Homo-oligomer: A and B are copies of this chain.
């Protein structure tokens, strides 16, 4: 048996790293800050992709693909955008290597210098708006509702698997509209899609809100986000949806003839979620035994472990439960029957617990005789025998389906309860400083100035995660400056 995981309460950060490693989700690569997403981790990401992609298409979007490279001059065009991304980008300067004339190996060929440097996309507004210039002439060409699944690179100095990596995978939607209202409505719609995905699939309750100006995406008029709480009380931004106004249209000189036959700049949005969601999924639900996966995103929803002493026992079990396996598969449940003979069943139990498989069915010789199965739930770590009726298991399979739904809901409710218990209304600066050390979401009044926001961040490392869309207008005094405030905003330390 391998060493136990570090406990969340003792070393949250190590606990996270160890789960990522032992559940075989991902690892650091030899390239600084870049990760390798291993098959089990990637299978979870694929489930996320499929669900999100279906939701994008259901809301009228189509996928496309734009180049990896952003010419330097494109990045320069939108000033704030350039400011935001220039300092952490991978720059391609040459297009050839050659044999080292002075020795072994390869060197960059100095004769193969690019006339203009190419940036590996940190995001694709610049490249995409340059293409949209050719796509948009008339109001008939609008709206453009396009998404791409891609890799992007931001040369972060401090990296952490899934949460902050130099290269990561994401999707980025980029839309163009004839009117401001339509673009704003798209921004909200996609924020809603992200919230629905986070809550319905990831079982992750989120706060929808708008960023303060200092936390806006570089080049956006408004940035909306969904914010979730992790088990250490820190916040994690799980998705953003930006209203870009006409900024990129102007920078890239994209205009269209409107219905009144006049030239106008189209209105833009962009929105994205990334492999960062993997980090959120792990940190929100998992426990000291390992990963806990919501059934809707689990690559294996049900694992079946035969408990046997002899090959004859195994054969008897395998034969008896064949109809059950068939019926589970036919019900669309993704199952694994682990009849491998190089590990004991106890080892297997621990392994699937570590990997977060929502339901485990243990079946021994006595179960075969009695027509029973031991059903273990990953979320509650409880187990109980159930009648399976191996020769006609439809009723049992139906129960398992319901159980998976119940687990999905339970994981969500547990996370919601955790957030409620860790959200605090704070009205004094002393209380604020005390609470932020203990962690959690702090709802406090803010005077709306960047100076106060910066001072609070300096003193406590807490940032305004968002101004929640749903919180009520309620006058009060800024927790830091004592000045007037119309509404509480959400503060937290964040990933």
Q: Which residues of A contact B (CB under 8 A)?
A: 27, 29-31, 34-39, 42-43, 45-46, 62-76, 82, 86-99, 105-106, 108, 117-120, 127, 130-131, 134, 140, 146, 150-151, 153, 155, 167, 169, 342
Contacts and interface: CB of A to CB of B under 8 A. Distances in A.
A30 B91 CA distance: 17
A90 to B, nearest CB: 5
Contacts of A45: 65
A92 B90 contact: yes
A71 B50 CA distance: 32
Nearest to A167: B68
A88 to B, nearest CB: 7
A155 B87 contact: no
B31 A155 contact: no
B62 A42 contact: yes
Nearest to A62: B39
A93 B169 CA distance: 22
A401 to B, nearest CB: 23
A76 B105 contact: yes
Contacts of A42: 62-65
Contacts of A76: 105-106
A31 B67 contact: yes
Given A27-B131, A88-B95, A89-B97, 13 more contacts: A29-B127, A34-B67, A36-B64, A39-B63, A42-B63, A43-B63, A76-B106, A86-B99, A89-B96, A91-B93, A91-B94, A92-B120, A95-B155
Contact of A74 (B30, B119, B134): B30
Question: Which of A27, A31, A94 lies at the interface centre, i.e. has the most chain B CB atoms within 10 A of its CB?
Answer: A31
Contacts of A65: 36-37, 42, 45, 169
A375 to B, nearest CB: 27
A87 B89 CA distance: 24
30 contacts: A27-B131, A27-B134, A30-B74, A31-B67, A31-B69, A31-B118, A34-B67, A36-B64, A36-B65, A36-B66, A36-B131, A43-B63, A68-B120, A69-B90, A72-B106, A76-B105, A76-B106, A87-B98, A88-B95, A89-B95, A89-B96, A91-B94, A91-B95, A91-B97, A92-B120, A97-B119, A108-B117, A120-B120, A140-B342, A151-B151
A44 to B, nearest CB: 11
Question: Which of A37, A68, A70, A155 lies at the interface centre, i.e. has the most chain B CB atoms within 10 A of its CB?
Answer: A68
A91 B91 CA distance: 8
B94 A93 contact: yes
A151 B68 contact: yes
A212 B29 CA distance: 35
B68 A34 contact: yes
